[in-house]
Amino acid sequence: MARLTAFVVLLMLLKIHVIQGYYYDRVPTITKCPGYYCGRHQIPDENGTNIWSSCGSCPRGSRVNSTWACSDCTSSPTAYDWMYLCFMVVVGLLAQWYSIDIVAASPQLSWKTFGTHLSAFIETCLSACIALLLHEPLGSLELRSCAVEQLSDWYTILHNPNPNYEEVLHCAQEAVYPLYSIVFVHYGLSVFMLFALRPWVNKALQNRGHSASQPIYAALYLFPILALIHGIMAGLIYYAFPSIIILLSLMSHAFHFASRQDQSWKALLYETVSRVHNLVVVIGHWVLHGFGLVALTLWLEPQLLAAVLTLVPLPTFLYIALSRFTDPGKFHSD
Ligand SMILES: *[C@@H]1O[C@H](CO)[C@@H](O)[C@H](O)[C@H]1NC(C)=O
Ligand SMILES: *[C@@H]1O[C@H](CO)[C@@H](O)[C@H](O)[C@H]1NC(C)=O
């Protein structure tokens, strides 16, 4: 019995050694790696001939393919990928605009507030462009990336395999290069642009005191918070952002109309058309609705997509048409 046990233990040790050697050694011809994201890349040996490295994470800018080789990310981002990146950029811009609106002295759109909004817009555009220029291909607004295949691509750190339950192979990497890291780069550049441009804009607009300094302080909180949310939730946001944008813009649209004094449909319509601020807010919401709808229905035929876009102003008309039925005062008098 003891002899049998010793034999089995010996066999297991041998097997572990063989399999470990298999994964942890350099090999002349490519062999299998465990896990979803472990791969081998080519390295020169002492004699200068190319051999394959041990299994591990692929170098930045490459991703393991079906034959366990790290191959460079050379595909272009899909339309959906671009819309995702736009969404992350727009979230940063809207958060800034919102903080500028909150500290603005008057609720009406003044030239100073408008100038600050415009400055935030220009800073955002500049940092987005610089972020694109800094990524492959260098110095061009195009982007080379690896395709997103599944949710786990965003969370490779949770998928380090431990073959034989011995030692964990560290294969975490940015499998969706550069869709994850470029958002951090953009937010960092946005803060830099804020410091580089905003003081000059405030000087030119003679913007002093709270309305000049508060949006800058707010942005110093906003961007780290956005970066943290992106760091943790990027994969979920990537799949859910069309629904998020439609839901949030519908809510904020209803909030905008509900905060008007006069809820009769004539006043709602009149105040929407006659005040520039209201008009800009409503059209801004339409743009967001359209963006969300297109992202959600990107797989449809282009003709159907155009039909879907006619739904964009629908919430506004529904609110105005139905406002007299939803007035709480009416329920009491009826
Ligand atoms: C390098 O070349 C020498 C002489 O040709 C050979 O003995 C040695 O095994 C080679 N090393 C490797 C790692 O192939
Ligand atoms: C995987 O990448 C390697 C190295 O780039 C390449 O030689 C090989 O053909 C690729 N395999 C597949 C299935 O694409």
Q: Which ligand is nearest to the CA of 62?
A: 2
Mutate to test the pocket of ligand 1, among 45, 47, 52 (most ligand atoms within 8 A of CB): 47
Rounded distance from Cα 189 to ligand 2 centre (Å): 35
CA of 39 to the centre of ligand 2 (A): 11
Atom of ligand 1 lying closest to residue 45 CA = 13
Q: Which atom of ligand 2 is nearest to the CA of 71?
A: 5
Provide the 8-state DSSP code for 160: -
- pLDDT in single tens digits along all 334 residues of the chain: 667 666 665 556 555 555 555 677 788 888 888 888 999 998 888 888 888 998 889 999 999 999 989 999 999 999 999 999 999 999 999 999 988 888 775 655 678 888 899 999 999 999 999 999 999 888 889 999 999 999 999 999 998 888 777 778 888 989 998 999 999 999 999 999 999 999 999 999 888 888 788 889 999 999 999 999 999 999 999 999 999 999 999 998 988 888 888 888 888 888 888 888 889 889 999 999 999 999 988 877 778 888 888 888 888 888 888 877 765 555 554 4
Output the residue whose Cα is nearest ligand 1's atom 14: 47
| Distance from residue 47's CA to the centre of ligand 1 (Å) | 6
Query: Which residue has a Cα nearest atom 3 of ligand 1?
Result: 47
Res 162: pLDDT: 81
User: Exposure of 174 by Cβ count < 10 A (0-12 exposed, 13-18 middle, 19+ buried)?
Assistant: buried
Domain ranges of the chain: 22-72+149-175, 79-143+178-326
Instruction: Point out the ligand nearest to the CA of residue 26.
Output: 1
Pocket residues for ligand 1 (CB within 6 Å)? 45-47
Residue 333 has a pLDDT of: 46
Q: Which atom of ligand 2 is nearest to the CA of 65?
A: 1
Cα of 175 to ligand 2 centre, how many Å? 16
Q: Which residues contact 7 (CB under 8 A, 6 or more apart)?
A: none
pTM of the model: 0.84
Q: Which residues line ligand 2 (CB under 6 A)?
A: 65-67, 69, 71
The DSSP result for 187-235, as a single string, is: HHHHHHHHHHHHHHHHHHTT--THHHHHHHHHHHHHHHHHHHHHHHHHH
Query: Rounded to an integer, what distance in angstroms lies between the CA atom of residue 115 and that of residue 200?
Result: 12
* DSSP state for residue 40 in the 8-state scheme: B
- Ligand 1 centroid vs 45 CA: distance in angstroms? 9
CA of 293 to the centre of ligand 1 (A): 62
Query: What pLDDT does residue 152 have?
Result: 92
Q: Which of 42, 51, 65, 68 to mutate to test the pocket of ligand 2 (most atoms within 8 A of CB)?
A: 65
Q: Which of 46, 49, 51 for mutating ligand 1's site (highest number of atoms within 8 Å of CB)?
A: 46
Which helix (H) or strand (E) segment holds residue 8: the answer is: helix 2-24
Q: Angle, nearest 10°, between helix axes 276-296 and 265-274?
A: 100
Q: Is the bond preceding residue 224 a cis peptide, omega within 30 degrees?
A: no
Is-contact 85 77, C-beta < 8 A? yes
